[in-house]
Amino acid sequence: MPVSRVFDVLRVKLALFILQLSIFSNRAHDHDTVFRAAWALSKRLGFLFNAFSSSGNPWGYEVRQVVYLRLLRLLHRQKPGYIPKVTVVNEDVFAHMARSKSPTIIVTVHSPTDTVISRILEDRGIKSSLLAANPQTVGERAALLGCRGQLDFIAQTENTLLQIRRDLRRNRVVHLCIDFREDNSASPALFMSSAVFRISELMTLNIVFLDTRITADGCISVYTHVHDTAETTGPDGIASAFVHWLKTTHGHTRDWTIVSNNPLR
């Protein structure tokens, strides 16, 4: 392991240890107070957590999101029960989803808080399925983000797209991350698969783009955009529109290469 990487690991360990102490010393207070104190401290420890921007972060996540999830894990271990605060921008998108009988697919990109979608849908009584390579990890993360119910997973197999079509026909909302990186690759290259949008050529489908951000005060903000398929041509066109939305509306700096194959299997 290169020396710089060793220093990065030590910086993060030190920062997490300090956060642990903060949680421990505030443990007598209510969850919100403990979280707010630890979150404020995590910002002051940014010079240590910035190690995430250079190593141990192959997806190129925003450092704030990585720190947020680490903090939730610590909090869960030392003082379980904190329910993260979530603000949904464009609430009407979900209200429409709850009323609508049209099949809907929500696409997003991997992030430490991507599974908060399950909680948002659960809170609004919308039945959903999600695609996951590792259901156990995703389930644990969803629980940390405040999801209480059982999640319905679609496995990554050669039947993934057929299963997605089945669930859409059963009027379930399907949500998934469509970005990917090559397994075990040291390369920072990221890809965006348009494969799932092939389904939009077969049935009338509501396509919702979704992105999550962490606000300065430690709240998850959820942004959505209903894509109009008339504005784009074919699955690759929809994937391009998604990337454009992520970059122009939310300032994502990651670069994704659009591919039509299906890394989901």
- Taking the complex as a whole, the smallest distance from the CB of residue 202 to other proteins amounts, in Å, to 7
Of residues 65 and 160, the one with the C-beta less far from other proteins:
160
Q: Closest Cα to residue 108, out of 121, 126, 95?
A: 121
Tell me which DSSP letter residue 176 carries: E
Least separation in angstroms between CB 193 and other proteins: 9
- Among 20, 78, 163, 240, which residue interacts with other proteins (rule: CB under 8 A)? 163
* Binding to other proteins, residues 174-203 (CB under 8 A): 195, 198, 202
Nearest distance in Å: CB 131, other proteins: 10
Instruction: Tell me whether residue 119 or residue 165 sits nearer to other proteins (CB atom).
Output: 165
Tell which one of 6, 89, 98, 162 touches other proteins (CB under 8 A). 162
Minimum CB distance to other proteins, residue 91 (Å): 32
User: For other proteins, which stretch binds (CB under 8 A), given 10-18, 75-83, 95-103, 151-159?
Assistant: 151-159
The total of other beta-carbon atoms located within 10 Å of residue 170's CB is 11
One-character DSSP codes across 181-192: --TT-----EEE
How far CA 229 is from CA of 75, 159, 226, in Å, comes to 42, 25, 9
Q: Are 172 and 78 in contact (CB under 8 A)?
A: no
Listed in sequence order, the DSSP H helices in the chain are: 3-25, 31-44, 46-49, 51-54, 63-78, 91-99, 116-123, 135-144, 160-169, 234-250
- Which is it for the CA torsion 144, 146, 148, 151, positive or negative? negative
# of chain residues touching other proteins (CB under 8 A): 18
Out of 16, 145, 238, 264, the residue judged to bind other proteins by CB under 8 A: 264
Least distance from other proteins to the Cβ atom of residue 165, Å: 6
The binder of other proteins chosen from 3, 136, 158, 251 (CB under 8 A): 158
Q: Does 261 bind other proteins (CB under 8 A)?
A: yes
* Residue 203 near residue 157, CB atoms below 8 Å: no
Per the DSSP assignment, residues forming a β-bridge with 154 are 131
Q: Is 231 in the site for other proteins (CB under 8 A)?
A: no
> Exactly one of 160, 212, 224, 232 binds other proteins (CB under 8 A); which one?
160
Q: Is residue 161 a contact point for other proteins (CB under 8 A)?
A: yes
Per CB under 8 A, 265 contacts other proteins: yes
DSSP states of 130-161 as a string? EE-S-HHHHHHHHHHTT--S---EE--STTHH
215 binds other proteins (CB under 8 A): no
Contact call for residue 159 and other proteins (CB under 8 A): yes
Degrees (nearest 5) of the Cα angle 84, 71, 144? 45
Interface ranges with other proteins (CB under 8 A): 157-163, 165-166, 169, 195, 198, 202, 260-262, 264-265
